[in-house]
Amino acid sequence: QVQLVESGGGLVQAGGSLRLSCAASMSIFSIAVMVWYRQASGKQRELVATITSGGRTNYADSVKGRFTISRDNAKKILYLQMNSLKTEDTAVYYCEGTLGSLDYWGQGTQVTVSS
């Protein structure tokens, strides 16, 4: 069964903003560590941001100050607010939820930033 579904991707000009959402159906959402990854064409997957169940966040250096990860445990939704987008942010963005040996992934959403 589907556990994580990303949405909110699209085409945006450089300097613009997008907000990605990741809707979860898994029962462990509120206690899971949630992560946003991205993978650009021809490149390795890159960790973008993480948020713990308690709200502690961590970001890749490449997105610090521009991206904000957040979560709504009541609605079981993970967010990624992306501001001041750059062409190098173009990638498929994935969310992951993990707790111990449990690991869930979404199908990804494409973000394309044009110059």
Local confidence band at 2 (pLDDT 50, 70, 90 cut-offs): low
For residues 21 and 49, give the distance between their C-alpha atoms in angstroms, rounded to a whole number.
Answer: 13
> In this predicted model, what pLDDT tens digit does every residue of 81-92 receive, in sequence order?
999 999 999 999
User: Taking phi first (over 0 means left), then psi (-120 to 50 degrees means alpha), and beta for anything else, what does residue 52 get?
Assistant: beta
> In this predicted model, what pLDDT tens digit does every residue of 30-48 receive, in sequence order?
899 999 999 999 999 999 9
